[in-house]
């Protein structure tokens, strides 16, 4: 059996079936696919990253991953637009602080959104999906 590398503090899973189970559960809830499998996560999965769907990430990991993605992306976009459109160019300290604040606010708000969805739909834990007993109960 091929083992995928562990990511985000999660134990390595023998196959992607754990993620597939999670995606099937999320699809049955009626949550939109763009919400339970956002583009960033689909990209990570395509790059062979063994990370759970965002609803199954612990709060701090969702906040950190999403905040660290958006903060620098937003700063890079603002820097690029300021050069292309001849806007006043922000100083590096201002751009850095703005990226940090934007990233933190976005990461926290998205982590709250996913935690709310996890509770609302009574989703199992990621670890419960890995246990053979849990798979047997769902079958």
What does pTM read for this prediction?
A: 0.76
Backbone region of residue 115 per phi and psi (left: phi > 0; alpha: psi in -120 to 50; beta: other values):
alpha
- Domain assignment of residue 2, yes or no: no
pLDDT band at 65 (very low <50, low <70, confident <90, very high): very high
- Domain assignment of residue 131, yes or no: yes
- Domain assignment of residue 11, yes or no: no
Say whether pLDDT at 86 is over 90: no
- Domain assignment of residue 47, yes or no: yes
Ranked by mean pLDDT, the top range of 5-14, 46-55, 72-81, 103-112 is 103-112
Percent of the chain with pLDDT over 90: 58
Domain count across the chain: 1
- Domain assignment of residue 40, yes or no: yes
21: which 2 tokens?
């189970």
- Domain assignment of residue 55, yes or no: yes
- Domain assignment of residue 52, yes or no: yes
State the CB neighbour count (10 A cutoff) for residue 92. Answer: 10
Domain carrying residue 113: 17-138
**What does the pLDDT look like over 104-121, one tens digit per residue?**
999 999 999 999 999 999
């Amino acid at each position: 059996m091929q083992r995928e590398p562990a990511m985000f503090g999660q134990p390595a899973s023998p196959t992607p079936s754990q993620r597939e189970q999670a995606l099937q559960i999320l699809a049955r809830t009626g949550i939109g696919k763009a919400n339970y499998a956002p583009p960033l996560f689909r990209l990570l999965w395509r790059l062979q990253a063994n990370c759970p769907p965002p609803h199954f990430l612990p709060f701090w990991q969702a906040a950190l991953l999403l905040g660290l993605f958006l903060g620098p992306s937003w700063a890079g976009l603002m820097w690029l637009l300021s050069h292309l459109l001849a806007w006043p160019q922000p100083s590096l300290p201002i751009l850095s602080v703005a990226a940090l604040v934007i990233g933190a606010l976005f990461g926290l708000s998205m982590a709250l959104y996913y935690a709310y969805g996890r509770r609302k739909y009574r989703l199992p834990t990621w670890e419960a999906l890995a246990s053979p007993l849990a798979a047997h109960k769902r079958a």
